[in-house]
Amino acid sequence: MDINPVLLLAAVIVASTPILLAAIGELVVERAGVLNLGVEGMMITGAVCGYIAAHETSSATLGFAGAALGGAGVAALFAFLTLVLLTNQVATGLALTLFGLGLAAMVGQGYATTTVVSVPKLPIPGLSDIPGLGRIFFTHDAIVYLSIVLVLAVWGFLRFSRNGLILRAIGENHEAAHALGYHVRRVRFFALLFGGACAGLGGAYISLVRVPQWVDNITSGAGWIALAIVAFASWKPGRLVTGAYLFGGVTALQLNIQATGLAIPVEYLSMSPYIATILVLVLLSGGRAPGSLGKTFHASR
C-alpha cells in the first residue's frame, strides 16, 4: 500500500487540531501567569461532554458547545481553587487531571457502544477546487478553520491589543500589575475560562471527529503534549502551530507507515511523534517563561 501525500497532509491537519486547540488555550493561560496542569482533565471532560451532547441532541454544533462548557467548567473549578483558595497550581492541576479522567470514565459508561452524528465538512468555495492544496487545506470541518482563526486571534490579541498587553503584564509581574491597579485575579479567571473552553473543544474534536466514538481515556495524553508544546514553543503562537502540526504530522505519518506493513516494530513508530516533537522544539526553544508563571498571587498589603 502506498502513501498518498495529499490524503496524508489532510490527515495531518485533522490529527493536529485537538492539540493545537488545547495548546492555544493553555498559551493564553500561561501568558497570564497561571500554570494549568489540568489540560488533560479539561480535554477529556470536553470530550465526554461533547460526545454526550452531540449524541443526545444529534447536533454536532451543540456537541462542541457542550464540550467548550464542560472544559470551561473544570477550568472554573481550577480558577476557584488556585485564585480564591490560593492552592498550589501544580498540585491542583494534577488533581484535576485525575478528577477529569475519572469523571469522564464514569459519565461516559453508558455511551461506549453508541454512535454519534458525523461532523460535516465545509469545503471553502473556490479555494477547495485547487488541485492538491484544496483537498489539504480547504476541505475540512468548521473546527479546523476555527482553530486557525483562534491562533491568529490570540496572536493579534497578545501583540496589538491593550487587554493583551495587560494580560502579558500580569503574567510577567503580577505584583507590579497589581500595584498599577490591574485586576490580576479577574484577568486570570477569564484566561482560564478561555483555556478550558479551548481544551474542551480539542477533546471533543477527538471524540466527535478523529475517533468518533466514546472510549475510555480517549485523549490518551494529548493534553500533556499540548502543555509541553506551549513551553517548548517559548509561549509564542507561531511556534506553537509548528509544534502542534509537527506532532500531528509524525502521528499521521507513522500510522500510514504502520499500514504499509514496513518491518519496523510498532512500538518505535508509536514513540516517534513524541520524540520528534521534543527534538525539534528543543532545537527551536530559547524563550523565557512569563515571570510570574506558576506563582500564587496574594494581594497582601
Partner 1 sequence: MREILLKLEGLTKAYPGVVANSGVDLAIQKGEVHALLGENGAGKSTLVKTIYGLVAPDAGHMTFEGKPFRPADPRAARAVGIAMVFQHFSLFEALTVVENIALGMEHPPTMRALATQIKAVSQTYGLPLDPQRIVGDLSAGERQRVEIIRCLLQDPKLLIMDEPTSVLTPQEVRILFATLRQLRAQGTAILYISHKLEEIRALCDQATILRLGKVVANCDPQQVSAKEMAEMMVGSALQAPKKQTVTEQGAVALTLSQLSAPAPQAFGTPLRDINLTVRSGEVLGIGGVAGNGQEELVAALSGEMRVAANMIQLYGQAVGALPPNARRKLGLCAAPEDRNGHAAAPDLSLTENALMTADARMGLSRHGFINRPQARSFASAVIKRFDVRTPSTDILARALSGGNLQKFVIGREILQAPKVFVVNQPTWGVDAAAAAAIRQAILDLAEAGAAVICISHDLDELMEISDRFAALNGGRLSPPSPTASLSLDQIGLMLGGAHDMEVAHVKA
Binding site for partner 1 (CB under 8 A): 162, 165-166, 168-169, 172-173, 175-177, 179-182, 288, 290-291, 301
- Closest CB 210 distance from partner 1, rounded Å: 36
Question: Which of 223, 278, 276, 286 lies closest to 252, judged by CA?
Answer: 276
For residue 142, give Cα distances in angstroms to 145, 148, 238: 5, 10, 21
- Closest CB 179 distance from partner 1, rounded Å: 5
Q: Are 54 and 201 in contact (CB under 8 A)?
A: no
Q: Are 248 and 17 in contact (CB under 8 A)?
A: yes
The sign of the torsion formed by the CA atoms of 233, 33, 14, 156 equals negative
Distance, CA of 245 to CA of 277 (rounded, Å): 9
Question: Which of 227, 223, 231 lies closest to 40, judged by CA?
Answer: 223
179 vs 264 by CB, closer to partner 1: 179
277 Cβ contact list (under 8 Å, min separation 6): 225, 228, 229, 232, 243, 246, 247, 250
255 vs 289 by CB, closer to partner 1: 289
291 vs 294 by CB, closer to partner 1: 291
C-alpha cell at 168: 502579558
141 vs 172 by CB, closer to partner 1: 172
- Closest CB 22 distance from partner 1, rounded Å: 24
Distance, CA of 57 to CA of 123 (rounded, Å): 24
- Closest CB 171 distance from partner 1, rounded Å: 9
126 vs 160 by CB, closer to partner 1: 160
33 vs 100 by CB, closer to partner 1: 33
- Closest CB 181 distance from partner 1, rounded Å: 4
5 vs 287 by CB, closer to partner 1: 287
- Closest CB 141 distance from partner 1, rounded Å: 37
- Closest CB 180 distance from partner 1, rounded Å: 6
- At 59, phi and psi to the nearest 5? -130, 120
66 Cβ contact list (under 8 Å, min separation 6): 49, 50, 52, 53, 54, 204
**How would you classify the pairing of strands 121-123 and 139-141?**
antiparallel
